[in-house]
Amino acid sequence: PHDTSMMALGLFVFWFGFIPFNAGSGLSLCGFFSANLTARIAVITTIGGCSGGITSLMWGWKAVGYSSLEYGITGVLAGMIAVCSCCPVVDPWAIFWVISPLGVASFWACDAALKYFQIDDPLNASAIHYGPGIVGMLAVGFFGSERFTADVYLNGYDGAEDKCFPLDGLTTADGEGDFIFYKYRKNDPCSAFYGLFFGGSGKQLAWQLAASALYTGYGVVACGLIFYPMKWAGILRVDLQDEREGLDVTHHG
């Protein structure tokens, strides 16, 4: 049993915290540019939650035949989680119309996979973090715009020569002040950092895919090392009677 009113209250508390959590990607409020970036990320986070909630409500209407508060709450969470990785570099329209709806779809796909493989996750925590999280990571490689990526990470752009340059008054890390690059991708042109749909070369998408695979592998191995020994030791699950009564009663009450 659960209390949907408390679920909704928890959602709004979470939503309120999600805005500064994501807006911290702006790194600073000092100066017009930093304040503008941080404000845009905060707005994008809210838009993502709204889009996800609407999408999931529509899916819930089809699935159960009525407007389900639980579906709406889940959609808001999935929509905002999909925003996390890409919030500094994507346009608001991409969040609302594409990224957050895909985040919701990926959640329900992961939820179906958990049921198919009979993996017990009562809170669906793995589905709601993994599916939308992967969507957000890959969105950088598809929807990272030239303008926002250059402004946030590359400090400017020379479209004619496809080289990155520092803003007025800034110098490179080595103090020479000519062109600025990430140290680990020193010879990459700026187009290598943009999304595929915004003139990018596809290299950033390749990095995002590689990172997604790495994080997936790490998660599977780490969780396997933790949970399989617990399963073999017989301490992974509670007794069936405890499941029927609910852990709030048997363990937390």
Cα dist. 144→181, 194, 203, 227 in Å?
Answer: 17, 5, 12, 37
DSSP assignment string, 53-117: HHHHHHHHHHHHSS--HHHHHHHHHHHHHHHTTTTTTS-HHHIIIIIHHHHHHHHHHHHHHHHHT
Q: How far is CA 101 from CA 8, 88, 237, in A?
A: 20, 18, 34
pLDDT in tens, 99-145: 999 999 999 999 999 999 988 888 899 999 999 999 999 999 999 99
- The tens digit of pLDDT for each residue in 65-97 reads 888 899 999 999 999 999 999 998 999 999 999
The pTM (predicted TM-score) of the whole model is 0.85
Residues 6+ apart with CB under 8 A from 59: 71, 75, 104, 108
The alpha carbon dihedral of 169, 172, 177, 180 has a sign of negative
